[in-house]
Amino acid sequence: MRIAFAGTPAVAIPTLEALINSEHEIVAVITQPPAAQGRSNKPQSSAVATFAAQKNLLVIEPESINAPQTIETLKDLKADLAVVVAYGQLVKNDALQVFPNGCPVASLARCCASSSSNHPRR
């Protein structure tokens, strides 16, 4: 299966690595564009972008995954499925419909919110 992966922080890397080590083909990695970080405020690539580049994967860093030109780029990938882990943008219906086999999404905000509510504050 041809898979597009979307993720940004380091916490998304284990999922990407598992997909790389599977029988599936990773056609592209979509991640947030470089952002200013640290005291120098210099733009730096995301952890996922750095990891994907080291694995010689195609890295796409759109300002918006929902922009018409990005959706056209996604269509050109001809991916069967997209896997989204902590991407950092809401992926809207037009972008989701590009992938015929769907787009499973793992939202860390939802995971953290639900798990933290199960633990009393100290």
**Rounded average pLDDT over 25-50:** 92
Q: Is the pLDDT of residue 43 over 50?
A: yes
Which of the given ranges, 29-33, 39-43, 117-121, has the highest pLDDT on average?
Answer: 29-33
The class (CATH top level) of 2-116 is alpha beta
User: pTM for this structure?
Assistant: 0.85
Answer whether 60's CB lies under 8 Å from 84's CB. Answer: no
Closest CA to 57 of 112, 122, 119, 3: 3
**b/e for 66-103, b at 16 or more Cβ within 10 A?**
beeebbebbeebebbbbbbbbbbbebeeebbebbeeeb
Q: Where are the domains of the chain?
A: 2-116
